[in-house]
Structure 1
Amino acid sequence: MTDDSRGFQAGQTGLVALIPEAEPVVGTWRERLDPAARAGVPAHVTVLFPFLHADVIDVGTRAALGELAARQPAFDLRFERCGRFPGVLYLAPDPDTPFRRLTEAVVGRWPEAPPYGGKYEPVPHLTVGQVKDEKALDEAEADIGPNLPVSAHVSAVDLVVFSGTEWRLEASFPLGRTGVARQARDLG
């Protein structure tokens, strides 16, 4: 989720894949340079942001998310390099196809929730920093590069909700198997 936290609205939701394996490499930089990290979101790759408003996510929506996730296989990936968007430093997942398939599946089910509100073509990535200070992004990239690659296993898609002050994990939907979503827990 690369939007600035000042633009987050209470009740906004997103679907993310948490990447705890990346925290030792990017955590300090994310805390300094990524508004989403400061608002409570751990290292992640966004599947879809924004998703539906929290007020309309009901039992049926959760069941549909669980079924959709269960049809997608869990997968392994590596982050071997950094990439850039204007004002953004990120880690690029390899492969990125599983994330693209997840996004396509969710948007196929909920076309009223296009990625980034239809502003940007989705490119799977793990945001390290989003600031106008390119020098700070250069410094972060120079520090992170020697600590790559980072390997990770993605086994769930998580629903996160913005409370108005912080992001909280609302539910987790396992990939590649059926089952009830795990119950909410704080992200922090």
Structure 2
Amino acid sequence: MVHTVLVVPVPALEGYVRGRWEHYDPAWVSRDPAFTHAHITALAPFLPSPAEGDLARLAAIARAWPAFDFVLDDVTAFPDGIVHAVPVPAGPFAELTARLWREFPECPPYAGEYADVVPHLTLDLLGPAVSTASVTADLAGLLPVRARAERLELHRYAEGDCRVLASWALGARLDAVADVSAPA
């Protein structure tokens, strides 16, 4: 199933998260060097085939949205077993999701599946050998992650072809943005 997602990349946890993807589903591991498996979702699913006008609207939102600092330290799990880290503060991520949803009302977060959208970075899935304690232990020396949300990226997910379609610096001036790539 092909889909697109708007994300804020978190390169500091890329090695760990990419390793989990390689373990669970190697066909979905990206060969695109710009792709970051470790991310906090801003809006998913997004439009299947965004047009130029959609990309321009995203660029305008990114330009107007200031970059911000956050920390990932607490490892927890959702009732469905998704092990994740919660950004602190979570507010800027929640506000970015709300702003994107207002601009693209046809794209409710997580297809409207959850009443409350909790900003998070997915780390693993609970199972016989995986617990929040084991993931926390695996991440010893990496957590806490002190990071800066600096980019909004449009990722395409397709088996054997996960890649970045477009990328925008948060808070960038119009004349400073030269990194938007057209979707292929």
TM-score category (smaller protein):
0.7 to 0.9
1:74 aligns with 2:67: yes
Structure 1 residue 105 and structure 2 residue 99: aligned? yes
Amino acid at match of 1:50: P
Greater share of residues in helix: 1
Residues 1:149 and 2:144 are matched in the alignment = yes
Matches within 5 A, 1:2-151: 9-10=1-2, 12-24=3-15, 26-32=17-23, 35=25, 38-40=28-30, 41-54=36-49, 57-85=50-78, 86-120=80-114, 121-130=116-125, 133-138=127-132, 139-145=134-140, 147-151=142-146
Q: CA RMSD in A?
A: 2.4
Cα displacement (A) at 1:25: 5.3
Query: Using the alignment, how far apart are the partners of 1:37 and 1:118 within structure 2?
Result: 27
Q: Cα gap change, 1:147/1:163 in structure 2, threshold over 3 Å: closer, same or farther?
A: closer
The Cα shift of 1:167 comes to 1.6
Q: Deviations over 1:49-69 (max 9, x none)?
A: 101112xx1111111000011
- Secondary structure of 1:107's counterpart equals helix
- CA drift at 1:182: 1.7
AA aligned opposite 1:158: E
Gapped regions of structure 1 (runs ≥ 5): 1-8
Question: What's the offset of the Cα at 1:143?
Answer: 2.2
| SS at 1:113 equivalent | coil
Secondary structure of the residue aligned to 1:135 is coil
Counterpart for residue 175 of structure 1: 170
Change (3 A) 1:151 1:173: same
Is 1:15–1:49's contact at 8 Å kept on the other side of the alignment?
A: yes
| Contact 2:44–2:110 (CA under 8 A) maintained in structure 1 | yes
In structure 2, runs of 5+ residues without a counterpart are 31-35
Distance of 1:36 and 1:63 partners within structure 2:
33
CA contact (8 A) 1:87 1:134 kept: no
Mark the CA change 1:37 to 1:17 in structure 2 (over 3 Å): closer, same or farther. farther
Give the distance between the partners of 1:42 and 1:24, measured in 2 at CA. 9
Identity rate of aligned residues, in percent?
33
Aligned residues: 172
Return the TM-score normalized by structure 1: 0.81
Q: Distance in 2 between matches of 1:102 and 1:134?
A: 35
- Per-residue CA distance 1:128-147 (angstroms, 9 max, x = gap): 013x5153234223322553
Q: How many angstroms apart in 2 are the aligned matches of 1:111 and 1:98?
A: 19
